[in-house]
Amino acid sequence: MHTISELQKTVEKALGQQKFVVEPHGLYQPIEYVMSMGGKRIRPTLCLAGCYLFDDDINKAIKPGLALEIFHNFTLLHDDIMDNADVRRNQPTVHKKWDENTGILSGDAMLIKAYQYASEIDGKHLKQVLDLFSQTAIEVCEGQQYDMEFETRDDVKVDDYLKMIRLKTAVLLAASLKTGAIIGGASDNDADLLYSFGENIGLAFQLQDDFLDVYGDIETFGKAIGGDIVANKKTFLLLNALQLASGSLKNDLLTWINAKTFDADKKIEAVRSIYNSLKVDELAKEKMNFYFNKAIDALNQVNGRDSMKEELRQFAVKLIERSR
């Protein structure tokens, strides 16, 4: 019997066996650098889990699982260039360690590598897997475009935001599970239910991230608290606050948003206080629980191996337990 933790180890072992660096080294060394930075390897692990729900042979899902991880890291590499980020997982980003052109080209090569890995499967599932991979890849790009546009738009609504995080974050988790399920021989209905499970967990997870950025503990959250507030990032909390606030509360919120110079700690404290007055923290928890329950409901309907269903259930709980 496989557990999620064992599947993660299988993924790490498989990744360690890949030889990413060939000639020309300047193209491939950044790829190996990115892939060796670590991370939880959630997407390939979910791909293996999706397969194991329906089939004992998880080996046939390893290459497509790695494809999803390579694609995910490709998006991070290009995101870092767009955001001009200096650090990723406590290491210099590729465009800082090398240069921007290297980051763009090595990222392009990663995307192509991802397709090469995704196509290493049994021919009968090839079209379905590649169609899902392509659909997901374009949706992630759409999500990134919305995210960039939101920075300068002042008409973003809560539903726009939920659409953006579904595309940018949730669909890749959903596709990881569904890819494994397809390879494992799941019925269309079971594959779709697993997709729904992944999609809703992805939405709950991103909302949790928004919540913890404001209300989390720096020790458990792993990064500084209040970064979204300082940057005026259009999160679920801010968009709800803008929608609900009126009178002096609205004026105070807009004053902080429009302030060009400010003390970061004071801004975080003031905006958090406005959020508390409007109870948007409770709205975020309610929405998180809504998506979490929707995810578990979909998982419960899957006709697959009960032990792995329970593993996925526990995985979902762990993803969002810090704020429940």
Question: What pTM value is reported for the model?
Answer: 0.95
Span 162-208, pLDDT tens digits: 999 999 999 999 999 999 999 999 999 999 999 999 999 999 999 99
Max alpha carbon distance in the chain (Å)? 63
Is residue 56 domain-resident? yes
Residue 245 lies in a domain: no
Q: What is the pLDDT of residue 222?
A: 64
Q: Which of 43, 53, 59 is nearest to 8 (CA)?
A: 43
Q: At what angle do helices 171-183 and 42-52 cross, to 10 degrees?
A: 30
Backbone dihedral region for residue 38 (phi beyond 0: left; psi -120 to 50: alpha; all else: beta): left
Nearest alpha carbon to residue 109 among 6, 220, 34? 34
Task: Measure the CA–CA gap between 98 and 89, rounded to whole angstroms.
Answer: 17
What is the number of structural domains in the chain? 1
Q: Is 177 exposed, middle or buried (0-12, 13-18, 19+ CB in 10 A)?
A: buried
The verdict on residue 116 lying in a domain is yes
Tokens 């767009």 correspond to 82
Residue 178 lies in a domain: no
Quote the CA–CA distance of 189 and 195 in Å, as a whole number: 10
Distance CA 166, CA 68 (A): 17
Cα torsion through 81, 83, 89, 90, rounded to 10: 100
Give the per-residue pLDDT at 320: 82
d(CA 200, CA 206): 10
CA atoms lying within 13 Å on the CB side of residue 83: 17
Buried b / exposed e along 245-279 (16+ C-beta atoms within 10 A): beeeeeebbeebeeeeeeeeeebbebbbebbeebe
The reply to whether 126 falls in a domain is yes
- Residue 244 tokens, joined: 């609900």
| 64 prior amide bond cis, ω within 30 | no
Q: How far apart are CA 208 and CA 288, in angstroms?
A: 7
pLDDT computed for residue 269 by the predictor: 97
Residue 110 covered by a domain = yes
With respect to residue 49, please indicate whether it lies within any of the assigned structural domains. yes
> Coil, strand, or helix at residue 208?
helix
Range of the domain at 91: 1-153
Which segments in the chain show pLDDT lower than 70?
Answer: 220-222, 322-324
Amino acid at 40: K
CA dihedral for 284, 228, 243, 198, sign (positive or negative): negative
**Beta-bridge mates of residue 92:** 87
pLDDT on residue 322: 64
* Unique residue bearing structure tokens 């209905």: 189
Which amino acid is present at 58? I
Establish if 140 belongs to a structural domain. Answer: yes
Alpha carbon distance 57, 77 (integer Å): 32
Provide the pLDDT for residue 324.
43
Residue 13: CATH number of its domain: 1.10.600.10
Per the DSSP assignment, residues forming a β-bridge with 88 are 91
On the 0-12 / 13-18 / 19+ scale of CB atoms within 10 A, 79 is middle
